[in-house]
């Protein structure tokens, strides 16, 4: 146990599993990688040995403590029971997040297809879509990359309509490539707006104020 006592779970699992979040897949991938790194993956994938040795019990306590430290209290309230092994807690967590898949899939599918860019940047919008896709995968409803591209273009700002048409007509287009294309167009539009702002002549009111100031200076400051 001493070998694992100083291990920081946050250093290996940088996110906490939350009850109302769609981060189960990401969290479980982080946690599996952590267990694999320390040679303890069997504690969440295999049944306990018979009999259980002191060394196995110490390792299992370490993995359980990592689980406790990487999930929120509301998740623990639904999954934690007395005298659990690490695997039993792991399975309870997985079962909880995969329960009621059918109704959750309907709701999450609606959220995914209703997403629009709005005031978000291209990358923020893409991250929101990816988060919705991850949530659908958690309920066994994976979204094809081509469908992600179509959803991206359907909800994008109308300013990108021409770029969207080019993306649609290009064979082998992926979601990542489509996001990069829209982000590049976003940068171009921002640069054009800055150039136009710099090229605008000063407002008439500003010119009149400057003339009045020059007139006052020439009159010795008299009104």
CA angle, 76 then 64 then 78, to 5°: 15
Per DSSP, 46 falls in state S
Q: Kindly give the confidence (pLDDT) of every residue in the chain, 223 residues in length, as a single tens digit, with 9 standing for 90 and above.
A: 557 878 899 999 999 999 877 788 889 999 999 999 999 999 999 999 999 999 999 999 999 999 999 999 999 999 999 999 999 999 999 998 887 788 888 989 999 999 999 999 999 999 999 999 988 988 889 999 999 999 999 999 999 999 999 999 999 999 999 999 999 999 999 999 888 888 876 665 555 555 555 555 555 554 4
Take residue 123 and report the two structure tokens written for it: 């990358």
Exposure of 178 by Cβ count < 10 A (0-12 exposed, 13-18 middle, 19+ buried)?
A: buried
* Spatial distance between the Cα atoms of 189 and 192, rounded to a whole number of angstroms: 5
* Spatial distance between the Cα atoms of 160 and 150, rounded to a whole number of angstroms: 13
* Spatial distance between the Cα atoms of 74 and 132, rounded to a whole number of angstroms: 22
For residue 223, the model assigns a pLDDT of 44
Q: Write the DSSP assignment of 87-136 as a string of letters.
A: HHHHHHHHHHHHTTHHHHHHHHHHHHHH---TTS-HHHHHHHHHHHHHHH
In 3D, which of 113, 110, 67, 120 has the Cα closest to residue 92?
67
* Spatial distance between the Cα atoms of 144 and 170, rounded to a whole number of angstroms: 17
Domain spans, the chain: 7-98, 101-198
In 3D, which of 34, 25, 40, 46 has the Cα closest to residue 94?
25
Element (H, E) at 151: helix 145-154
Give the contacts of 53 (CB within 8 A, at least 6 positions apart): none
* Spatial distance between the Cα atoms of 89 and 81, rounded to a whole number of angstroms: 8
Take residue 21 and report the two structure tokens written for it: 């979040």
């Amino acid at each position: 146990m001493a070998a694992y006592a100083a291990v920081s779970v946050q250093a290996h699992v940088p996110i906490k599993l939350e009850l109302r979040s769609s981060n189960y897949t990401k969290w479980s991938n982080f946690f599996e990688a952590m267990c694999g790194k320390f040679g303890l993956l069997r504690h969440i994938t295999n049944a306990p040995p018979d009999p259980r040795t002191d060394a196995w019990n110490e390792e299992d306590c370490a993995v359980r403590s990592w689980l406790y430290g990487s999930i929120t209290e509301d998740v623990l309230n639904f999954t934690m029971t007395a005298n659990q092994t690490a695997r039993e807690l792991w399975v309870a967590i997985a079962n909880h997040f995969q329960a009621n898949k059918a109704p959750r899939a309907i709701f999450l599918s609606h959220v995914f297809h209703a997403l629009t860019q709005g005031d978000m940047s291209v990358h923020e919008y893409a991250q929101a879509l990816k988060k919705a896709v991850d949530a659908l995968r958690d309920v066994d409803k994976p979204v094809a990359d081509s469908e992600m591209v179509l959803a991206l273009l359907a909800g994008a700002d109308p300013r990108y309509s021409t770029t969207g048409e080019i993306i649609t007509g290009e064979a082998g287009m992926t979601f990542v490539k489509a996001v990069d294309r829209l982000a590049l167009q976003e940068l171009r539009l921002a640069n054009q707006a800055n150039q136009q702002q710099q090229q605008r002549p000063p407002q008439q009111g500003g010119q009149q104020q400057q003339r009045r100031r020059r007139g006052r200076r020439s009159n010795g400051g008299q009104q």
